[in-house]
Amino acid sequence: MTDQQTRPISENTQNISKALQDVSDRAQELVREEIELAKLEVTQKVTKLARGIGIGAAGGVFAIFGLVILLHGFAWLAYYVIPFPDGQYFWGFFVVAGLLFLFGALAAYLAYRAIKAGSPPTPKMAIDEAQRIKETVTSPHPEATVGGVR
């Protein structure tokens, strides 16, 4: 073999190894980016779950205080029903108890919506992106899968 015949082979080998290294580097970068996207998505979902739990706890507090006020109102009602001096103080307690129960119901509804929106905490966007990458890599025509065109 002459020197001219071996030179193109070694240049081709270097080009192929450089191309393989580039593909490997880009694949590692894609994996890192997908992991970061998954972390971000899970963090957002956990934040929504925590917000829902907090609102649910607030709703529970409103319901407990509503029950206390309701029981207090019943106590005043008993005072009124039993023949004691005229004094209809209990109606204010019932109005306050009703308002607290409304606030508790509103908080429970908001907590339900927040918990439903945040569960289960799966990284949906990262999974979709990984599937698109897999389709692009395995497709016989990868240019058709890039940019959402399928």
DSSP 98: H
Q: Which residue has the higher pLDDT, 26 or 96?
A: 26
Structure tokens at 99: 């308002």
DSSP 143: G
Name the pLDDT band for 97 (thresholds 50, 70, 90): confident
Domain range for residue 135?
Answer: 3-148
User: How many distinct structural domains can be found in the chain?
Assistant: 1
Mean pLDDT along residues 117-127: 76
pLDDT digits (tens, 9 = 90+) for 43-96: 988 999 999 999 999 999 999 999 888 878 777 776 666 555 566 665 556 666
Nearest to 115 by CA among 51, 67, 60, 65: 51
pLDDT of residue 106: 95
Q: For the whole model, what pTM was predicted?
A: 0.48
CB 118 within 8 A of CB 46: yes
Structure tokens at 28: 């590692």
pLDDT of residue 99: 78
